[in-house]
Homo-oligomer: A and B are copies of this chain.
Amino acid sequence: MALYGERGYEQTTVAQIAERAGLTKRTFFRYFADKREVLFWGAELLERQMVGAIEATPESASALGMIGAALEAAAARFEEFREFAVPRHRIIAASRELQERELIKGVSMIAAMTSALRARGLGDTTADLAAHLCVTVMQVAFRQWVDDPEPRAFQQVADEVLAQLRELACAG
């Protein structure tokens, strides 16, 4: 991440990364499937925590309640790694290739949450939509959270975004 920050993602070569780490290019590719993957280490963890939050929700919870629980889990993780998440986000935002990778991590999360939501009794389409909504709120809120000049709690931003989404969808 240091190198990506210094020279930009596209300008840094895997050989340079390997060198700074005291390793070989070949070894790098044994740990990471490709050049981008370095920046997405903890991604499955976030996914698992959000899924876990859905599963841990009380029986009586509504679809929106489960989404809220998943967002709380995400908030906890983002706050925990705030100092790490912000520069990482800047690097990703500067490279189309990295954005692509981030997006596909998003669909992986959607798939995982969809299946968790179905297991909780939601219909196929409803589960899919709920998972999409959750990720949408997370992404929109995340961008606002990162760009916000004075720091706010992610949870609060996400709550506001979710409220606006409901207002939008329920109008008319």
Residues of chain A touching chain B, judged by Cβ–Cβ distance below 8 Å, are: 62-65, 96, 99-101, 103-104, 106-107, 125-126, 128-130, 132-133, 136, 139-140, 144, 160-161, 164-172
User: Given A99-B104, A128-B140, A166-B170, 17 other A-B contacts at CB below 8 A?
Assistant: A64-B172, A96-B104, A99-B107, A100-B103, A100-B104, A103-B104, A103-B106, A125-B160, A126-B167, A129-B168, A130-B168, A133-B165, A133-B169, A136-B136, A165-B169, A166-B169, A170-B170
Q: Do A64 and B130 touch (CB < 8 A)?
A: no
Given contacts A164-B126, A168-B63, contact A140 B133 (CB under 8 A): no
CA distance A96 to B37 in the complex (A): 14
Q: Do A170 and B169 touch (CB < 8 A)?
A: yes
How many protomers of this protein does the assembly include? Answer: 2
Given contacts A103-B103, A125-B161, A164-B126, contact A63 B171 (CB under 8 A): yes
CA distance A107 to B135 in the complex (A): 13
Closest chain B CB from A58 CB (angstroms): 14
Closest chain B CB from A159 CB (angstroms): 12
Q: Do B136 and A168 touch (CB < 8 A)?
A: no
Given contacts A169-B64, A169-B170, A170-B170, contact A161 B129 (CB under 8 A): yes
Closest chain B CB from A136 CB (angstroms): 4
CA distance A101 to B107 in the complex (A): 13
